[in-house]
Amino acid sequence: AQSVAQPEDQVNVAEGNPLTVKCTYSVSGNPYLFWYVQYPNRGLQFLLKYITGDNLVKGSYGFEAEFNKSQTSFHLKKPSALVSDSALYFCAVRDYGSGAGSYQLTFGKGTKLSVIP
Protein backbone atom coordinates (compact mmCIF):
# COMPACT_ATOMS: atom_id res chain seq x y z
CA ALA A 1 0.00 0.00 0.00
CA GLN A 2 1.13 3.53 -0.66
CA SER A 3 0.64 6.51 1.62
CA VAL A 4 1.65 10.13 1.99
CA ALA A 5 1.98 12.25 5.11
CA GLN A 6 2.01 16.02 5.24
CA PRO A 7 2.72 16.70 8.91
CA GLU A 8 1.76 20.39 8.89
CA ASP A 9 -1.80 21.57 8.41
CA GLN A 10 -0.59 25.14 7.97
CA VAL A 11 2.69 26.90 7.22
CA ASN A 12 3.11 30.64 7.66
CA VAL A 13 6.04 32.48 6.11
CA ALA A 14 6.91 36.12 5.56
CA GLU A 15 7.09 37.40 1.99
CA GLY A 16 10.63 37.15 0.65
CA ASN A 17 11.64 34.40 3.07
CA PRO A 18 12.35 30.83 1.96
CA LEU A 19 9.51 28.35 2.37
CA THR A 20 9.38 24.61 2.93
CA VAL A 21 6.31 22.38 2.85
CA LYS A 22 7.03 18.89 4.16
CA CYS A 23 6.04 15.54 2.71
CA THR A 24 6.97 11.98 3.59
CA TYR A 25 5.83 8.87 1.78
CA SER A 26 5.58 5.12 2.11
CA VAL A 27 5.66 2.67 -0.79
CA SER A 28 6.67 -0.96 -1.24
CA GLY A 29 8.21 -0.40 -4.65
CA ASN A 30 9.70 2.69 -6.26
CA PRO A 31 8.05 6.06 -5.70
CA TYR A 32 6.91 8.51 -8.27
CA LEU A 33 6.29 11.75 -6.37
CA PHE A 34 4.25 14.81 -7.26
CA TRP A 35 3.33 18.22 -5.89
CA TYR A 36 0.10 20.01 -6.71
CA VAL A 37 -1.25 23.43 -5.73
CA GLN A 38 -4.91 24.37 -5.27
CA TYR A 39 -6.30 27.87 -5.17
CA PRO A 40 -9.76 28.48 -3.60
CA ASN A 41 -12.62 26.78 -5.45
CA ARG A 42 -10.29 25.55 -8.17
CA GLY A 43 -8.94 22.19 -9.21
CA LEU A 44 -5.44 20.94 -8.47
CA GLN A 45 -2.62 22.27 -10.63
CA PHE A 46 0.51 20.21 -11.23
CA LEU A 47 3.73 21.83 -9.95
CA LEU A 48 6.50 19.27 -10.32
CA LYS A 49 7.37 15.60 -10.12
CA TYR A 50 10.20 13.23 -9.31
CA ILE A 51 10.55 10.15 -11.49
CA THR A 52 14.25 9.32 -11.55
CA GLY A 53 17.60 11.05 -11.87
CA ASP A 54 18.57 14.19 -9.98
CA ASN A 55 17.18 14.35 -6.49
CA LEU A 56 16.46 18.06 -6.86
CA VAL A 57 13.64 18.74 -9.28
CA LYS A 58 12.50 22.14 -10.46
CA GLY A 59 8.97 23.02 -11.35
CA SER A 60 6.54 25.83 -12.06
CA TYR A 61 6.53 29.27 -10.42
CA GLY A 62 10.05 28.88 -8.98
CA PHE A 63 9.24 25.88 -6.84
CA GLU A 64 11.58 22.95 -6.37
CA ALA A 65 11.55 19.76 -4.36
CA GLU A 66 14.22 17.45 -3.04
CA PHE A 67 13.84 13.69 -3.09
CA ASN A 68 15.51 11.97 -0.15
CA LYS A 69 15.27 8.22 -0.37
CA SER A 70 16.80 7.46 3.03
CA GLN A 71 14.35 9.77 4.77
CA THR A 72 11.48 8.90 2.40
CA SER A 73 10.80 12.59 2.00
CA PHE A 74 9.95 14.95 -0.85
CA HIS A 75 9.81 18.44 0.62
CA LEU A 76 8.65 21.37 -1.49
CA LYS A 77 10.78 24.50 -1.37
CA LYS A 78 11.03 28.00 -2.76
CA PRO A 79 13.89 30.41 -2.08
CA SER A 80 11.72 33.53 -1.81
CA ALA A 81 7.99 33.35 -1.06
CA LEU A 82 5.40 35.56 -2.73
CA VAL A 83 2.00 36.53 -1.36
CA SER A 84 0.50 34.92 -4.48
CA ASP A 85 1.98 31.57 -3.38
CA SER A 86 -0.66 31.42 -0.63
CA ALA A 87 -2.70 28.30 -1.42
CA LEU A 88 -3.26 24.66 -0.48
CA TYR A 89 -0.42 22.31 -1.42
CA PHE A 90 -0.77 18.57 -1.93
CA CYS A 91 1.92 15.93 -2.12
CA ALA A 92 1.10 12.70 -3.97
CA VAL A 93 2.77 9.35 -4.63
CA ARG A 94 2.41 6.56 -7.10
CA ASP A 95 4.00 3.20 -6.21
CA TYR A 96 5.62 2.04 -9.42
CA GLY A 97 7.22 -1.31 -9.97
CA SER A 98 5.94 -3.07 -6.89
CA GLY A 99 3.65 -5.26 -8.94
CA ALA A 100 0.68 -4.05 -6.96
CA GLY A 101 -0.96 -2.92 -10.16
CA SER A 102 -2.10 0.36 -8.75
CA TYR A 103 -1.57 3.35 -10.98
CA GLN A 104 -3.61 6.04 -9.33
CA LEU A 105 -2.16 8.74 -7.15
CA THR A 106 -2.47 8.76 -3.38
CA PHE A 107 -2.62 12.28 -1.96
CA GLY A 108 -1.65 13.76 1.37
CA LYS A 109 -4.22 15.77 3.30
CA GLY A 110 -2.77 19.06 2.15
CA THR A 111 -0.88 21.94 3.74
CA LYS A 112 -2.21 25.46 3.72
CA LEU A 113 0.54 27.94 2.96
CA SER A 114 0.03 31.55 4.01
CA VAL A 115 2.59 34.13 2.88
CA ILE A 116 2.38 37.24 5.00
CA PRO A 117 3.15 40.60 3.36
Partner 1 sequence: ETGVTQTPRHLVMGMTNKKSLKCEQHLGHNAMYWYKQSAKKPLELMFVYNFKEQTENNSVPSRFSPECPNSSHLFLHLHTLQPEDSALYLCASSQVGDGGAEAFFGQGTRLTVV
Q: Cβ of residue 94: shortest distance to partner 1, in angstroms? A: 6
**Which lies closer to partner 1 via its Cβ, residue 48 or residue 81?**
48
Q: Cβ of residue 45: shortest distance to partner 1, in angstroms? A: 7
Which residues make up the interface to partner 1 (CB under 8 A)? 32, 34, 36, 41-46, 49, 51-52, 90, 94, 96-97, 103-105, 107-110
**Which lies closer to partner 1 via its Cβ, residue 31 or residue 81?**
31
Q: Cβ of residue 68: shortest distance to partner 1, in angstroms? A: 19
**Which lies closer to partner 1 via its Cβ, residue 46 or residue 79?**
46
Whole-angstrom CA distances from 62 to 5, 7, 72 are 23, 23, 23
Q: Where are the beta strands (DSSP E) in 1-117?
A: 3-5, 10-14, 19-21, 24-26, 30-38, 44-50, 56-58, 64-68, 73-78, 87-96, 106-107, 111-116
Q: Which residues pair with 64 in a beta bridge?
A: 58, 77
Q: Cβ of residue 15: shortest distance to partner 1, in angstroms? A: 27
